[in-house]
Structure formats: C-alpha cells, structure tokens
Amino acid sequence: MLEARDLMVFFENALAINDLSVEVHREEIVGVLGSNSAGKTTLMNTISGLIIDIKKKEYRRGGERITVLGELKFEGEDITNAKPSERVKKGIVLSRERHPIFPDSSVGENLKIATCIRRDLKITERFEFVYSIFPQLKEISKRKAGFCSGGEQQMLSIGMALMPRPRLLLMDEPLLGLSPALQQHLVRAIRQIRGEQVTILVAEQFARPLLPFIDRGYVIENGTLVLMGTGQELMENPEVKAAYFGV
C-alpha cells in the first residue's frame, strides 16, 4: 500500500532521516518505534507531506534549509511531490502528536472542521463512525475542546483524523502523556479502527502497550533503521526488551 524508499531528510546539515525504507501493507498495523529525537515525527511528516509545507515556511522566513530525498509511493502511485491536501484526498491522513485541536470550538465543531478538504463525504456517516470508535466524544460533543481532559483531547485529535475517511492513518505518538489505563484504552481503539479496514502506521516511544498488537515494526535510532520484524519477534528481541521493557 505504502512504499517509502531510501528516505533522507536534512535540516541544514543535520541528518534527521538516514536512508530509511518502510513498507505498509493493506489493513496492517505497523509500528515505528524509537526514543525522543529518533526521527519518528520527521518520518510521519514526510509521509503525510507536511514536511513540504514546513520546508516552504522555513524558506519564506529565511530559516533552516530543509532537504528531502527519496521516493514515496501509495498504491503504486508516486506521491513524492504531492501536497499534503492531495495526500489527504488520496486517503493518507496524519494524527499529529500532542493533540492539536481548536480549543475555542466545540468537540463537534472540531470534527466537522476536519472534513473541510473532503467535500465528497457524507458528514453524518463520518460522525457516526467516529462516535462508534470513541463514544465519549458524543457525550461531550458540545463542550469546548479546550476544556476537555488530555485523554479526551487525544481521542478528539484521532477522531478528527478519522473524519476525512482515511485509507492509511498515520499516528504520531498517540500514547504520549496518557496514563497506563488510557494508553490501553487507546490501543484497543486502534485495533478497532483497523477492524474497519483502515491501515495504520503508528510512531511511538511507548512500545510496551503497543508491541502485542502490531503486525510488524521498525525500530529507528537517529533516523536510521536498526531493527525490524513482526511484533512478536520484536517483543522477544533482547535489545528491544532492554531498551523498552527494562529487562
């Protein structure tokens, strides 16, 4: 479904992604695991196309020079130079880290805003789909998003990514800052989303709750691939145990 080949991303002379290749097959849950500053967010921004907008903004303000090399294909089509909005229309949607939302708008308004790029959607059906995954959001649909808890805002952020009807959902650090109970709740929701024929690529540093449920995983350090395998293989790998489980 998704093929990322030989990706390299430079911020000025700093190498953020180093010759990285990733594949995601239809209806898989694939994990990208790594510590802080491993390159996970840069990878997700590159696949979603957000890096293109970041690059333009930096150029306009005379900021750091960003260089992106490599090839991206989605369903066999080259999307390397496609705009983020074009990728959303093709079905690639990113749920960004730290749940960026519109705090002064209600939960329901946030969800509706997320459909603005896809004019072909049946909005009512999308609301029903999101509420089936996160019924809590329906209960607080009229509450201002800024007054929601961290867990509720994370559910809302993911719900907003689900509204444009993604075929490939990119999730960047969805478990960040959540309690262990909320992490488990969100992992169950991720499995439910996959059950609705949505393919998922999730970047995460909290491997313990996620590893039992991923089909395959990539471990990266300093933007470089160091390990790959099935979820079970990674769980049984001594290096992964030492780095993520403390054993």
Tell me how far apart the alpha carbons of residues 58 and 56 are, in angstroms, rounded to a whole number.
5
Per-residue pLDDT tens over the stretch 168-204: 999 999 988 888 888 888 999 999 999 888 999 999 9
Per-residue pLDDT tens over the stretch 32-42: 999 888 999 99
Hey, what CATH class is 25-48+83-245 in? Answer: alpha beta
User: CA distances (Å), 196 to each of 28, 65, 129, 207, in order?
Assistant: 11, 40, 9, 23
| Contact between 156 and 106 (Cβ < 8 Å) | no
| Contact between 32 and 201 (Cβ < 8 Å) | yes
Note the pTM of the prediction, 2 decimals: 0.92
Domain spans, the chain: 25-48+83-245
Q: Which of 234, 212, 238 is nearest to 225 (CA)?
A: 234
